[in-house]
Structure 1
Amino acid sequence: MEIAYALEHPVKLHLKLHVQGFTVLLGESGVGKTSLLKAVAGLVSAKGQPFAGLRPEERPVGYLPQHFALFPHLCAWQNVAFPLAHLPPAQRKSKALEYLAQMGIAELAERFPRQLSGGQQQRVALARALARQPKILLLDEPTSALDVATREEVFGGVIERLRSLQIPTLAASHDQWLAQRAHRVAVLTRHGLVQQGSAEEVFTRPKSLEVARLVGFRNLWGGVVLRLEGGWLWVETPLGVLQAARPDWVQVGQKVWLGIRSEEVFTLDTPQNRVLGRVCQLRWQGLRLRGQLVVGEVALDFLLPRYKQTQLGLTEGQQLEVALEPRFLHLMPAS
């Protein structure tokens, strides 16, 4: 589904984006993510397609606000049945139970919102949104109420259920975890919609330094292109001369930004781009070990799976040599 909207208030925003499968609109607070969802739902004044000219109640949109907006005096199935007023009373409960079953919580049908966890409330709200039989689902910060420890368990299953329903879904979020699990990612900044594509493309090949930082690149250095040869190039960087894959736009002498994701610092044992430094700031993040390799005045951030730490036995202060796989080094124009 193509979305093209122009807003003047509460933020000035003009954009076109393609929603396919589970799509995440990724951006920091204040750039207009929620305003765009409300515009598509008809809740703020805007011009655009689809649904131009329709009142909110006429739009085939399922909208899940950040705090779910469940009716506290209605139990789960009654909340879901709220959009089903057009059905005979005898059919409303059975239909509501079907939508709750799609979210995997039919057994919670008689519970009130106060008796449900945050994740369970979210699934009830999603079931209610689905009861509208929408042509598109709009989710506002769907992981904000979930803690990191349970996010995968609670919302990972929701994503799979939404995929199976094959309803185009647009989720506004600042959560990189959620964006990495999307079919498509659209990156919204204060400069507008700056990149959109598959999650793999956006997270590994950001078009600018701004996008790179937003999608989690911690290792970014300025450099100058020294040499081009075939599909490769060599760049002078604070870590020394590094070999990387050659993009079409680059020229010898050009100033660039070069980056590599922390989880791709320890890759293949290649002869290229060997970097020697001192290990510091080791700390566990769940089952992965994050640390830094200090090379002169440069700190190279890395993130290791547990099995790799078992092999290496890293300790702070030790010397360590790593390889930066040329295929995983990514160039962006300095401008």
Structure 2
Amino acid sequence: MAIYHLNVKNISRGDGRSVVTAAAYRAGEVLPNEAEERLSDFGGRRDVVATEIRLPAGAPEWMANRSSLWNAVEVAEKRVDARLAKEVEFALPVELPRSAWLDVARTMADAYTAQGFVVDLAIHDDGARRNPHVHLLMSTRRVGPDGFGLKIRSADGKQFVTEARALWESVANAALGKAGHAVTVDSRSYAKRKLQHVPGRHHGPNPQERRVRRLQAQRERDIMAPRDPDEDLPVPDPDGSPIHPEQLAAAEDRMLGDMHRPVPGEASQTEGDLQAARMAVDQQNAREVGEDEAAAYRLAPENHLDWLEDNTRPEDVPTLERWENHLDWLGTDRPEPGDGADGREWNRPGRDER
């Protein structure tokens, strides 16, 4: 015998429930929740096989839109403890072929649309056929051309549950027989059938297993996620050693500072303006220098700017020019005695004069 399971639930505002959120979860969609001014986001669910809204005769077309339908239900119900929707949830026998799932779901839904309900159906399966099941989320008010009317009170009693269980037994057995299976389901309890079996308990999903599956899925997404080919690669120095990020940032700051530093040639624009010239000199003296420039300044001779104060007398120029090349006598092309440029005899300088 195939396994039978059917459960009837209420979606009640008194329990802190939102019918828009319930519809978004079952359909695996993102729906605007106008009452709560947020999005009910359950998009991307992979266990939603099919969804469909089944309307009773005379229902307005806008009810075929899931967002419009369930936000209108929230508006129609004024009480703080209002019952917003009714749900019939039942398990699909694993013996039933997948191709028959939507047909049996529609058959069940149409049995309620004939009573005036709007039915939002959703078929769920984890892909391994371990727990295929159907959700029928139904409005609690009758539907007319102008929208929602009075409450359907026939859904309030125990008779509604009994009839739902008998209905699913009939529909499921007809579908199993059509598929060629001899097995059947029975909506009666073990006690009514006078069987000594202990009824099984529905434990639901194992939290630890779900946590492990989520972690595994996250690891797979991280592995498959595209990444920049240059991401996390260190920047090498001329020797091939990686540069520390702090050193790299400091070098970048120095480069940007050099780019925005005024060009020395701009000082020529202040020519003729004494105050502007002084400001340009002060700015040049106050600028920061790099390590290489500082090292060159420290190694320079103390008198490397002496040319700014040239006290040479005119009569000393011939002597300075002659002694500027005082080592030329070591060469083979030294002048012969008497061949001086000034017509005087050239004498080899003495040791003390060298």
Q: Decide which structure has greater strand share.
A: 1
Question: Higher relative contact order by CA 8 Å / sep ≥ 6: 1 or 2?
Answer: 1
Q: Give TM-score scaled by structure 2 length.
A: 0.20
Query: Which entry has the higher C-alpha Rg, 1 or 2?
Result: 2
Q: Give TM-score scaled by structure 1 length.
A: 0.21
